[in-house]
Amino acid sequence: MIEFKHVFKKYPNEILAANDFNVKIRQGEFIYVIGPSGAGKSTFIKMMYREERPTSGEIKVNDYELQKIKNSEIPFLRRELGIVFQDFKLLPKLTIFENVAYALQVIEKDPETIATRVNYVLDLVGLKHKVDAFPNELSGGEQQRISIARAIANKPEVVIADEPTGNLDPDTAAGIMEILERINGEGTTVVMATHNSQIVDQYKHRVLEIEDGKIVRDQTEGGFFQDED
């Protein structure tokens, strides 16, 4: 469960990227975060994994109260989240297997469990045959699938994806969406920032629209979402 309560974020250059965000995302939901460039989507996403700190307000992710946690606790918060980036952020000098395994090594899983799990998730994204390749030997779409495989390797409750289809052609983007749909179907919460209206129209889910740092729309499939607060 993710909850934003009266969250404000002002950058040193006086830009207000979050102006009183109040959002609740339930376990198992799929939610798009849309809006033009510079609207505050990335700030919203980054605050969830504590890459950015809110200026004021409360953010709760699972059992972590992000305004209170110490720096040393951040890695533990991130282990409960799977994060997928527009630019993939794979480790360039590690093979595909090692990249996915990294997420499991940090939680000190034993080597056998790691091997089994890595093979499973690589199979899930359809890239089991690429285990020994390096990221620069793969296409953008393949790299993004590896990035998703890494995000789900340790079975997180939440997957956060920041424009995961941003750099991909429509067919590849559709492939990525199929994978995210499947992950969501297994009960994982998916929060996805996107520019791509085609995707939002095709795969219908709750939509959160941000403009100039304000949430201007929070709409469930077929109608406006009513905030409980």
Q: Residue numbers of the site for other proteins (CB under 8 A)? A: 49, 51, 71-72, 74-79, 83, 85, 89-93, 102-103, 105-108, 110-111, 150
Nearest to 57 by CA among 45, 43, 46, 68: 68
DSSP label at residue 7: E
Instruction: Tell me the C-alpha distance between 72 and 160, whole Å.
Output: 21
Q: Provide the minimum distance between the beta carbon of 119 and other proteins in the complex, in angstroms, as a whole number.
A: 18
Terminal-to-terminal C-alpha distance of the chain: 15
Angle at 171 between CA 165 and CA 175, to 5 degrees: 65
Nearer of residues 24 and 89 to other proteins, judged by Cβ: 89
Q: Shortest approach of other proteins to residue 105 CB, angstroms?
A: 6
- CB 147, min distance to other proteins, A: 10
Beta carbon nearer to other proteins, 167 or 220: 167
| Strands 158-162 vs 189-193: parallel, antiparallel or unpaired | parallel
* Tokens linked to 2: 């993710």
Euclidean distance between CA atoms 186 and 122, whole angstroms: 17
**From the CB of 5, what's the least distance to other proteins, in Å?**
23
**Residue 101 or 199 with smaller CB distance to other proteins:** 101
The residue among 14 and 108 lying less far from other proteins, judged by its C-beta, is 108
CB of 52 to other proteins, least distance (A): 11
Q: Is 129:159 a contact under the CB 8 Å cutoff?
A: no
